[in-house]
Amino acid sequence: MKYLKFLSVGIFFGILLVKSEAVSWFRIFEMFRFESFHMYGIIGSAVVLGAIGIALIKKFNIKDLSGTPIAIPDKAKNYTSAIIGGSIFGLGWALAGACPGPMYVLVGTGAMSMLIVIGAALLGTFAYGLLRDKLPH
């Protein structure tokens, strides 16, 4: 039962990705051509409201459902890996048209060829795990 809330958030997230059209390869292509405000509006308004929400959580020391004070860990200050890894992800995002949330959602919409993309993404993550110590971070 404790997983029901996560299942609900997931279902809502999946519906939202479909209804916002952010799962569409076409929307990603359009975004990288700067031909519509749509994706920028989505990410921008999510970040503005998210930032307000996180600021309020910090200001009022809000606790999570289990009563533990919320502490959001800072991202590791690895700028080299952020820019190189980010660029590698960007290449794949614009090619496959799906980032790691939408690829699962698309399987739900019936796009079975996404299973190939997911399989390849697992392989990519595995390859990173193998090479991690040799890569600059």
**Residues of this chain, 25-84, that bind other proteins according to CB under 8 A:** 25-33, 35-51, 53-54, 57, 62, 64-66, 68, 70, 72, 74-79, 81-84
**Min. distance of Cβ 24 from other proteins in angstroms?**
5
Per the CB < 8 A criterion, the answer to whether 73 and 1 are in contact is no
| Backbone phi and psi for residue 101, each to the nearest 5 degrees, phi listed first | -85, -60
List binders of other proteins among 3-22 (CB under 8 A): 3, 5-22
Q: Among 1, 59, 61, 124, which residue interacts with other proteins (rule: CB under 8 A)?
A: 124
- Per the DSSP assignment, residues forming a β-bridge with 69 are 63
Nearest to 23 by CA among 81, 100, 88, 82: 100
**Min. distance of Cβ 25 from other proteins in angstroms?**
5
**Min. distance of Cβ 61 from other proteins in angstroms?**
13
